[in-house]
């Protein structure tokens, strides 16, 4: 069994979709949900699905090994970032080399970087009169949204679309593709594939 931990900072709708997708999977199990916000709705989603959850602070994440030790304790193999807004510590990236996967609500390298998340991305896309946007699933490295791209999916933007309209289109792409791409990556690791 390959174990995954989901990091999220907010509502956790992508986390919910991932949990549902892997609920009865023969080879992949969601072991843990972690968040940096004690009021994040993702905690309720974890509880509803009987998944253990952990709330941590900056000291536990960056200054000591508390979070890393929890991941080791739960025998986690892959880290999935689903709306998690902090930069991953170098030590964690090194421990889970090419096993930390993030999703971004734009077609990187456009509209990425610190402070570019959620509705802020969609507002920028609309303000710049883009004709298309999409999602980018990528490996995590030491910089925001700069890791190797694994997968992208696109959608059209109509001239009358608001940022909320764009957000709805992006959510559909996320729910459709993120769990499937996670599964493909995890199942290919250890079988001689370069993912």
As to burial, measured by CB atoms within 10 angstroms (0-12 exposed, 13-18 middle, 19+ buried), residue 101 is buried
Question: Would you state the pLDDT for residue 190?
Answer: 58
The active-site residue, picked from 104, 122, 138, 177, is 104
Active site residue 177: no
- In tens, the pLDDT along 58-104 reads 999 999 999 999 999 999 999 999 999 999 999 999 999 999 999 99
Nearest residue to 33 (alpha-carbon basis) of 89, 94, 13, 96: 13
Question: Would you state the pLDDT for residue 25?
Answer: 97
- In tens, the pLDDT along 92-126 reads 999 999 999 999 999 999 999 998 999 999 999 99
Write down the domain spans for the chain: 2-188
Question: Would you state the pLDDT for residue 27?
Answer: 96
pTM value is: 0.94
> What CATH number has the domain spanning 2-188?
3.40.50.170
């Amino acid at each position: 069994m390959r174990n995954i931990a989901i990091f999220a900072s907010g509502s956790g709708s992508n986390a919910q979709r991932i949990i549902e997708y892997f609920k009865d999977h023969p080879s992949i199990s969601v072991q843990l949900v972690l968040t940096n916000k004690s009021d994040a709705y993702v905690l309720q989603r974890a509880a509803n699905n009987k998944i253990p959850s952990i709330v941590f602070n900056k000291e536990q994440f960056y200054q000591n090994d508390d979070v890393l030790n929890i991941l080791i304790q739960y025998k986690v193999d892959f880290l999935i970032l689903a709306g998690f807004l902090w930069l991953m510590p170098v030590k964690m990236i090194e421990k889970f080399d090419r096993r930390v996967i993030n999703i971004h609500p734009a077609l990187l390298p456009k509209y990425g970087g610190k402070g570019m998340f959620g509705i802020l991305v969609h507002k920028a896309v609309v303000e710049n009169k883009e004709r298309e946007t999409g999602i980018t699933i990528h490996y995590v490295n030491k910089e925001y949204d700069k890791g190797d791209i694994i997968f992208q999916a696109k959608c059209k933007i109509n001239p009358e679309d608001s940022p909320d309209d764009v957000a709805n289109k992006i959510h559909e792409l996320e729910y459709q593709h993120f769990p499937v791409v996670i599964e493909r990556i995890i199942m290919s690791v250890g079988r001689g594939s370069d993912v």
